[in-house]
Chains A and B, each alone.
Chain A
Amino acid sequence: MLKCSELFANYGSVAALKGISIEVQSGEIVAVIGSNGAGKTTLINSILGFVKPHKGTVIFEGQDITNIPAHKTTNLGISVVPEAREVFYSLTVKENLRMGLKKEIGKVKQQELEDRLVHLFDTFPRLKERINQQAGTLSGGEQQMLVISRALISNPKLLLLDEPSLGLAPIIVNEIFEIIKTLKKEGITIVLVEQIANKALSVADKAYVIENGKIVMSGSASELKENKDIAKAYLGV
């Protein structure tokens, strides 16, 4: 479904990606694990078209999307939960969710929107109570739930999650990983970027470990869980 080949990306003269290749099959959860500054967010942004790789290709469902800007790639069935969350603070929860409909916003009928909201509220009940509240008034955890819902409301084929647990209380982190498991059951394909390897590996099918803009290890999640080096580097063992 998604194939990144030999991606190189720079910020000015700083190389952030030094030849990254990853492959994601339909229905899989693929974890990308790495410490701070490894290049995980740059990889996500390169897929989205927010960062322009100077070498390499990104193929999504057979289409070359390497040089397609983010506002277009996100209309191809790719949704993102960005590391910085990027909530529309001044808009209401409902307006944030409507933004998640992307270019479809004019086509989705009122009833259809209500149906999708009801479906989301099954998983995110707290958003229902806050539907007309300004998003800026939500707690950090609630904002993350909002951003995940906003990413899901368009029924994406591919969901990119950039450190969804960052800065959240452990209980919320657990909640988020439970949600990721539910999403997997619904058949949605996910790229999950994380620093916390054990959490990520517990939900992923496959994982890549990146360090300094390079992939240093990859394999099935169960293989990597057994791997002593990973345990040392990322599980804090």
Chain B
Amino acid sequence: MEEALASLVQAILSGLAIGCLYTLIALGYNLTYVVNGTVNMGQGQLVMIGAMLMVTFTTFLDLPFFIALILVGLILGILGILLEVISVRKFVQDKTSVNWVLSTLAVGIILQDLALFIWGPEETRLVSPVGEGMFEFLGAGIYWKELMMIPAVGVFLLLLMLFYLKSHWGLWLRATADNKVATNLNGVNSNYTVAIAFGLSALLAGLAGGLITPIYAVFASMGLSLGLKAIAVAIVAGLNNAKGIVICGLGLGIVEVLVAMYISPGFREMIVYIVVILILFIKPNGLFGTKETIKV
């Protein structure tokens, strides 16, 4: 009985840890979706680039973990802005066009091939900044390196929320999401704020990629499955609902670990995607999403 409880607690904690990362990536989709109605289909590859840069910065340049992490975030932020200019802006001028789906996917694949060329196909794993020790809790043991995700992501999300709700940059993003014409008529270039949204989105992908390095194998094609899972989280939650995405991201992490533990690791992804389809079948706008209503 006690053992069962211990393993449940352990599963929930490691599920939360990985769920934090899904949340971070999925919020990236949310940021650009509300502002522009678009998402970066290459988001997963940005996570991979973040992870690769993290490995390079910490092992080859010997930078401390968190310094490297911030640096990775900033570099990815700039990459996200470039990505918007190159592969989104020209592709959304016609509202009904979905060319941006292909163009952002294409950039993702190009980045993946570049990473393969630069870093090779080998898997690497980073030495944990908090050691390989375990945290004992209610008889359960969880690696510190997993557990640290929770406060680290918590801090990032708090900063993001402050930025979004309190700074004038955040106001500009929310204004752009609400009404682009009005934004431009109030002296703010909406092209510029959309690019900022993509920069922020990529920054989140970079942070997730950096944070994942001590607990997951890093390799050039790791992006696709992460990107897909995160977009599943975003769509299931409702692309326009950030709170829902946090709940679903954490939920996905926990469900995955539970399925792996109690059913079979091999069924993990299959079951997750079956649930995704079921939910969308019943609630087409996602669990927490609201249908875009026409504003009068």
Q: A interface vs B, CB < 8 Å?
A: 48, 50, 69-72, 74-75, 80, 82, 84, 86-91, 95, 98-100, 102-103, 105-106, 136, 150, 154
Contact = CB atoms under 8 A, between A and B. Distances in A.
B263 to A, nearest CB: 42
B179 A70 contact: no
Nearest to A73: B187
B174 interface: yes
Given A91-B178, A95-B171, A105-B168, A150 B186 contact: yes
Nearest to B177: A90
Given A88-B179, A89-B178, A136-B295, A70 B171 contact: no
Nearest to A85: B182
Given A86-B181, A91-B178, 7 more contacts: A50-B181, A71-B189, A74-B185, A98-B168, A98-B171, A99-B182, A105-B171
Nearest to B182: A86
A70 B185 contact: yes
B295 A89 contact: yes
Contact of B175 (A50, A99, A106): A99
A71 B188 contact: yes
Contacts of B183: 71, 99
A69 B180 CA distance: 14
Contact of A74 (B168, B171, B179, B186): B186
Contacts of B184: 50, 69-71, 74
B174 A91 contact: yes
A125 B171 CA distance: 24
A87 B185 contact: no
A69 B189 CA distance: 9
B87 interface: no
A217 B182 CA distance: 32
B23 interface: no
Interface residues of B, number: 18
B175 A71 contact: no
B64 to A, nearest CB: 32
Contacts of B186: 74, 99-100, 102, 150
Contacts of B182: 82, 86-88, 99
Contacts of B189: 69, 71-72
A128 to B, nearest CB: 20
Contacts of A91: 171, 174-175, 178
A71 B186 CA distance: 7
22 contacts: A69-B189, A70-B185, A71-B183, A71-B185, A71-B189, A71-B190, A72-B187, A74-B187, A82-B185, A86-B181, A87-B182, A88-B182, A89-B179, A89-B295, A90-B177, A91-B171, A91-B175, A95-B174, A98-B171, A99-B183, A99-B186, A102-B187
A86 B185 contact: yes
Given A89-B295, A91-B174, A136-B295, A103 B188 contact: yes
B92 to A, nearest CB: 18
A50 B190 CA distance: 13
Nearest to B190: A71
Contacts of B181: 50, 82, 84, 86
A88 B187 contact: no
A75 B192 CA distance: 15
Which are the 8 A-B pairs with shortest beta-carbon distances? A102-B187, A86-B182, A71-B189, A75-B187, A74-B187, A88-B178, A105-B168, A71-B184
Interface in B257-296: 295
A8 B194 CA distance: 31
A48 B185 contact: yes
B293 to A, nearest CB: 10
Most buried by B among A72, A86, A98, A99: A99
A123 B174 CA distance: 28
Contacts of B175: 88, 91, 95, 99
A105 B175 CA distance: 13
A29 B183 CA distance: 26
Contact of B179 (A48, A69, A86, A106): A86
A131 to B, nearest CB: 15
Nearest to A135: B178
